[in-house]
Structure 1
Amino acid sequence: MKLHVVTFVLASFGAPVGLAPREQTPPAPEAKKEPKKEEKLAPAEVGKPAPDFTLTDVDGKLVKLSDFKGKIVVLEWFNQDCPYCQYAYGDAGPLKELPERMTKRGIVWLSINSGTSANADAAKKFLAARKSNARVLLDADGKVGTAYAAKTTPHCYVVDEKGVLRYRGALDNAPMGQVADRESKTNHVEAAVNALENGKAVTRQETKPYGCPVKYAKP
């Protein structure tokens, strides 16, 4: 009689007679998602493929370096607020006509504004005042400038038709138009381009750049 009562009570609470309750397995904790690491460009080295990049120009158009393979490309680091760039693009400066002359020869000339000075409106105003058709690309985070170790404005690079970096350094040997004693004026960029166009090796592959320091944003 007592056995029937116990059975009835257990059944009333939904517990199966003669079976121990099953232990529930706790759900496995969700694996933590690691934040994606920002891809860094390989550092530029003369004689090796130039680091590829994609930047937006001041008109909002995307520009990718590798799209110009088959052509000689000049990369010129630029800052509209730098006195050296203001002189270079002025009436007596070396960049008043050189980029346009080279463009007519089939050379690609890209001006890159890295860091805190990368401003589309300011660059447009600068170019319009000087009637320049230079194509300025914006590198606000400095990723491209860092890969190329661009230190000053202007700091120039020449890439050959195969995408290999052949020259990096100063635009010329005449900062603000001033040449050192007993030196004749030499445009290093033009000399490198001329050599490549004629199928010759660039004899002077690196020079010390001059100009305003590139102001990269602090991480």
Structure 2
Amino acid sequence: MVELTRRNFGLAAGMATAVGLTAAALIAFSSAEAQTVVEPGTVAPAFSDAATAQGETVSLSDFEGKTVVLEWTNHDCPFVKKHYATPPANMQSLQAEAGEAEIVWLQVISSAPGKQGHVSSEQAVQLNTDRGAVPAYTIIDESGDIGRAYGAKTTPHMYVIKGDGMLAYNGAIDSIRSASVDDIAKADPYFQDAVNAVIAGEPVPLATSAPYGCSVKY
């Protein structure tokens, strides 16, 4: 059984400047957007023929019987940069270990054209190459349909879907709502704990938490 492990690497310098950005500007999201609340213990919203940066299309049903992770991302968001910073390469490590556990990691970009975080397929692939990120697929959700179906509010916003199609986790990657790399090692790893519980066939200790980060740019 492969378990996602917590890594303690040297901490990257320079990220502290992101903390000066106001929480209101980064964490708030429009009440007109992402009204759906998908509760753990319910069936995860289906999606079909979603375009990926890899030039393929994927449907949630393609991964029946497998654990699936959904990661909403925006490469320009300081909170996303925190978890992709090298070191500690927190998100990349989680992606790699998920792959070893045969978990399907779907990175989702719901930024609309002309808005922060929107990228072409080629740019998305290059970003992941440059960062050493290894999601199974990167979904380009320009319409925001998938994001709204799941109620994705922030980047990052993490979901875990069990092999039977039931949602096991919806929420933050961890417990410390900051853009500081220094806080990764100090935080309770909510998402990591949820994945480990699903791998072990055990109840998720905290199935829902409030996500933090930049608002999804629908």
Q: Which TM-score band (shorter chain)?
A: 0.7 to 0.9
Match of 1:108 in 2: 104
Match of 1:61 among 48, 56, 61: 56
Output the CA distance in 2 between the equivalents of 1:130 and 1:198: 30
SS in 2 for 1:205: coil
Structure 2: 5+ residue stretches without partners: 1-35, 113-117
Deviations 1:14-56 (A, max 9, x none): xxxxxxxxxxxxxxxxxxxxxxxxxxxx863321110111211
Q: CA deviation at 1:190?
A: 1.4
Q: CA deviation at 1:129?
A: 1.3
Q: CA deviation at 1:178?
A: 4.7
Output the CA distance in 1 between the equivalents of 2:77 and 2:126: 14
Deviations 1:55-92 (A, max 9, x none): 11102101111211111111000112222222212212
Output the CA distance in 2 between the equivalents of 1:138 and 1:132: 16
Match of 1:124 in 2: 125
Using the size of structure 1 for normalisation, the TM-score is 0.73
Match of 1:15 in 2: none
Match of 1:143 in 2: 145
Deviations 1:110-162 (A, max 9, x none): 11000322532321221121122223111100001001110111000011110
The structure having more radius of gyration, on CA atoms, is 1
SS in 2 for 1:136: strand
Output the CA distance in 2 between the equivalents of 1:212 and 1:145: 14
Residue 45 (structure 2) pairs with residue 51 (structure 1)? yes
Q: CA deviation at 1:108?
A: 1.0
The structure showing larger relative contact order (alpha-carbon pairs under 8 Å, at least 6 residues apart) is: 2
State, as a whole percentage, how many aligned pairs show the same letter. Answer: 36
Residue 72 (structure 2) pairs with residue 77 (structure 1)? yes
Deviates more, 1:133-142 or 1:80-89: 80-89
* Number of corresponding residues: 173
Using the size of structure 2 for normalisation, the TM-score is 0.73
RMSD after superposition:
2.0
Structure 1: 5+ residue stretches without partners: 1-41
